[in-house]
Structure 1
Amino acid sequence: MNSKIIGSILIVAGTAIGGGMLAMPIISAGVGFGGISIVLFLIWLAMCYTALLFVKIYKYNPHDSGMNTITQKYLGKTGSIITAISMLTLMYALISAYISGGGAILSSNLQLWLHIELSPTQAALVFTVLFGGIVSLGTKVVDFTTKWIFSIKLLFLVLVIAALFPYVRLENLATLPVERALIFSAIPVIFTSFGFHVVIPSLVSYLKGDFKQLRLVMIVGSAIPLVIYLIWEIAVLGSIDNGIFMRIIHTNVGLEGLLLAIRQISQAPITNIAVNIFAAAAILTSFLGVALALYDYIKDLGKNKAWISNSYTAIFLTFAPALGFALYYPKGFILALSYASISLVILSLILPVLMLIKAKRQAQEKISLGMKIGFTGIFILSTVILATQVFISLGKVPHIG
Structure 2
Amino acid sequence: MKKVILSACLVAGTSVGAGMIALPMALCKIGILPTIILILGVWFFMYVSGILGIELNLRAGRGLPLGKLARLYSGPIASSIGTISLILLIYALLCAYLYGGASILQSFLASHVGWSLELKSIVLVYAFLLGLLLIFPVGSILQVNRILFTILLVFFSLLVCGLLYKIELSHLPLLDHSATNLRSWTEAIPVLFTSYGFQVIFHTLTNFCDKNPVILKRSIFWGSLIPAIVYIIWTISTLGVLYRYAPQEYQQLLAGKLEVGQFIQALAQTASWPLVQILASVISILAIMKSSIGVGLGLFEAWQEQFNIRRPDKSILLNIVCVTLTLVPPLIIALFVPQLFLKALSFAGMVLVIIALLLPLWLIHQPKAQQIKAFYTLVEHRGLQLVCLGFGLLVILCEMTNMLVWRG
TM-score (norm 1): 0.84
Aligned to 2:69: 70
Aligned to 2:132: 129
1:209–1:366: structure 2 CA closer, same or farther, 3 Å change rule? Answer: closer
Q: Deviations over 1:89-142 (max 9, x none)?
A: 111221343344446656877896799x99432332113312x246x425xx56
The question of whether the paired residues in 2 share the 8 Å contact of 1:9 and 1:220 is answered with yes
Q: Which amino acid aligns with 2:15?
A: A
- How far residue 14 of structure 1 moved from its aligned partner, in angstroms, is 2.4
Which of 375, 385, 394 aligns to 1:375? It is 385
1:104–1:237: structure 2 CA closer, same or farther, 3 Å change rule? Answer: closer
1:2-401 mapped onto 2 (5 Å cutoff): 2=2, 6-102=5-101, 119-120=121-122, 121-130=124-133, 132-133=134-135, 136-138=137-139, 144-173=143-172, 175-179=174-178, 180=180, 181=182, 182-241=184-243, 244-249=248-253, 250=255, 252-295=257-300, 297-298=302-303, 305-307=309-311, 319-328=323-332, 329-330=334-335, 332-358=340-366, 359-363=368-372, 371-396=381-406
- How far residue 385 of structure 1 moved from its aligned partner, in angstroms, is 0.7
The question of whether the paired residues in 2 share the 8 Å contact of 1:263 and 1:272 is answered with yes
Q: Deviations over 1:273-296 (max 9, x none)?
A: 101111122123322332344355
The question of whether the paired residues in 1 share the 8 Å contact of 2:30 and 2:175 is answered with yes
Aligned alpha-carbon RMSD (Å): 3.5
- Alpha-carbon distance in structure 1 between the residues aligned to 2:135 and 2:65: 22
- Alpha-carbon distance in structure 1 between the residues aligned to 2:56 and 2:318: 26
- Alpha-carbon distance in structure 2 between the residues aligned to 1:52 and 1:251: 36
The question of whether the paired residues in 2 share the 8 Å contact of 1:302 and 1:309 is answered with no
1:247–1:83: structure 2 CA closer, same or farther, 3 Å change rule? Answer: same
- Alpha-carbon distance in structure 1 between the residues aligned to 2:19 and 2:374: 38
The question of whether the paired residues in 2 share the 8 Å contact of 1:107 and 1:123 is answered with no
The question of whether the paired residues in 1 share the 8 Å contact of 2:30 and 2:177 is answered with yes
Q: Deviations over 1:138-186 (max 9, x none)?
A: 5xx5654444322211221122222221221223435323222213321
The question of whether the paired residues in 2 share the 8 Å contact of 1:36 and 1:183 is answered with no
- How far residue 384 of structure 1 moved from its aligned partner, in angstroms, is 1.0
Q: Which amino acid aligns with 1:224?
A: I
1:259–1:392: structure 2 CA closer, same or farther, 3 Å change rule? Answer: same
- Alpha-carbon distance in structure 1 between the residues aligned to 2:278 and 2:269: 14
Q: Which amino acid aligns with 1:351?
A: L
- Alpha-carbon distance in structure 2 between the residues aligned to 1:80 and 1:357: 15
- How far residue 364 of structure 1 moved from its aligned partner, in angstroms, is 6.8
- Alpha-carbon distance in structure 2 between the residues aligned to 1:300 and 1:209: 25
1:323–1:114: structure 2 CA closer, same or farther, 3 Å change rule? Answer: farther
Q: Deviations over 1:337-357 (max 9, x none)?
A: 131111101001112222222
Instruction: Please state whether the residue corresponding to 1:241 is helix, strand or coil.
Output: helix
Q: Which amino acid aligns with 1:226?
A: A
Instruction: Please state whether the residue corresponding to 1:171 is helix, strand or coil.
Output: coil
- How far residue 213 of structure 1 moved from its aligned partner, in angstroms, is 3.5
The question of whether the paired residues in 1 share the 8 Å contact of 2:209 and 2:216 is answered with yes
- Alpha-carbon distance in structure 1 between the residues aligned to 2:400 and 2:241: 33
Q: Which amino acid aligns with 1:258?
A: F
- Alpha-carbon distance in structure 1 between the residues aligned to 2:206 and 2:300: 15
- How far residue 226 of structure 1 moved from its aligned partner, in angstroms, is 0.7
The question of whether the paired residues in 1 share the 8 Å contact of 2:300 and 2:322 is answered with yes
- Alpha-carbon distance in structure 1 between the residues aligned to 2:157 and 2:371: 48
- How far residue 391 of structure 1 moved from its aligned partner, in angstroms, is 1.0
1:169–1:356: structure 2 CA closer, same or farther, 3 Å change rule? Answer: same
- Alpha-carbon distance in structure 2 between the residues aligned to 1:63 and 1:234: 41
Q: Which amino acid aligns with 2:344?
A: A
- What is the identity percentage for the equivalent residue pairs of Structure 1 and Structure 2? 25
Q: How many residues align?
A: 392
- How far residue 389 of structure 1 moved from its aligned partner, in angstroms, is 0.8
Q: Deviations over 1:45-97 (max 9, x none)?
A: 11111111111112222425332211112232221121122111111221343
Any stretches of 5+ residues in structure 2 without a counterpart?
A: none
The question of whether the paired residues in 1 share the 8 Å contact of 2:106 and 2:261 is answered with no
Q: Deviations over 1:295-326 (max 9, x none)?
A: 555566678x2437959788556532232134
The question of whether the paired residues in 2 share the 8 Å contact of 1:102 and 1:127 is answered with no
- Alpha-carbon distance in structure 1 between the residues aligned to 2:256 and 2:221: 39
1:256–1:149: structure 2 CA closer, same or farther, 3 Å change rule? Answer: closer
Instruction: Please state whether the residue corresponding to 1:170 is helix, strand or coil.
Output: coil
User: Greater CA deviation, 9-18 or 268-277?
Assistant: 9-18
- How far residue 267 of structure 1 moved from its aligned partner, in angstroms, is 3.8
- Alpha-carbon distance in structure 1 between the residues aligned to 2:307 and 2:365: 27
User: Greater CA deviation, 380-389 or 64-73?
Assistant: 64-73
